[in-house]
C-alpha cells in the first residue's frame, strides 16, 4: 500500500526508532519507493544515515564499562549494554569470515559473537561460559549484518551462575539462538 509523503515519513521515523540498524534498501523495499526517496525523507527528517546511527548508539555504549572482558575482545561491535540485563552487538560479515566456495559464514563467528556478548553482559570481573546450547537456523552470507541481542534470563546466586539467552538475526530473520550458562566469580 503506497502512502502519501507525510504518512510515509511518519512511518519511516517509527520504523527507524524501532530498528536503528535498518538499511535504506530495506526501507525502500518496505515502503515500495526508491532508495533515493528514502534518503530524501531521512534528510528532511534530520535522521542520519545508518553508519551515523550506529556510531551514535555505540558512543552511548562506550560510556558504560564492560567488566568481564576488554571491549576489543568482543566479537562484533557492542551498541547497547545494560549490565546484568541485556546487550546488543552487530557483526558485518566480510570475506575473511566465509567459506570461499559458497560465501557462507563459518559458524564459529556467529557463536563467537553470541558468546562474547553473553560474557560482556555479566557485571563481574570474571565471567566464563560453563555450558552452551546453540542452534543455527539459517546460513549467513557474505555482506550480511548480524544483530545479536542478549538477555539475562536467570540468575542463580547460590551457584554463581547466570543464564544468558542470545538471539541473532539478519534483518527480521533469525539465524542463531543460544542459551549460555555463565559462571561468575561473585554472586552479585
For the stretch 115-133, pLDDT in tens is: 999 998 988 888 899 999 9
CATH number for the domain spanning 177: value is 3.10.129.10
For the stretch 59-82, pLDDT in tens is: 555 545 666 766 667 888 888 888
Residue of 50, 83, 97, 55 lying closest to 150 (CA atoms):
83
The C-alpha cell 560482556 sits at 120
Based on its alpha-carbon atoms, the radius of gyration of the chain, rounded to whole angstroms, reads 18
CATH number for the domain spanning 12: value is 1.10.10.10
Contacts of 29 (CB under 8 A, 6+ apart): none
Indicate the SS3 state at residue 88.
strand
State the pLDDT confidence band at 152, using cuts at 50, 70 and 90: very high
Range of the domain at 34: 5-47
Whether 59 is covered by a domain: the verdict is: no
Amino acid at each position: 500500500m503506497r502512502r502519501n509523503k507525510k504518512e510515509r515519513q511518519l512511518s519511516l521515523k517509527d520504523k527507524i526508532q524501532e530498528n536503528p540498524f535498518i538499511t535504506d534498501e530495506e526501507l525502500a523495499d518496505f515502503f515500495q519507493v526508491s532508495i533515493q526517496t528514502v534518503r530524501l525523507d531521512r534528510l528532511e527528517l534530520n535522521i542520519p544515515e545508518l553508519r551515523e546511527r550506529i556510531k551514535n548508539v555505540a558512543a552511548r555504549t562506550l560510556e558504560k564499562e564492560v567488566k568481564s572482558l576488554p571491549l576489543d575482545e568482543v566479537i562484533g561491535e557492542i551498541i547497547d549494554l545494560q549490565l546484568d540485563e541485556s546487550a546488543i552487538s552487530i557483526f558485518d560479515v566480510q570475506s575473511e569470515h566465509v567459506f570461499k566456495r559458497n560465501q557462507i559464514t563459518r559458524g564459529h563467528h556467529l557463536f563467537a559473537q553470541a558468546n562474547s556478548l553473553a560474557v560482556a553482559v555479566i557485571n563481574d570481573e570474571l565471567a566464563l561460559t560453563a555450558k552452551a546450547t546453540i542452534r543455527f537456523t539459517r546460513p549467513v552470507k557474505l555482506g550480511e549484518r548480524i544483530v545479536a541481542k542478549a538477555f539475562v534470563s536467570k540468575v542463580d546466586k547460590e551457584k554463581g551462575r547466570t543464564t544468558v539467552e542470545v538471539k541473532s538475526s539478519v534483518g527480521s530473520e533469525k539465524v542463531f539462538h543460544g542459551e549460555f550458562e555463565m559462571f561468575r566469580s561473585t554472586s552479585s
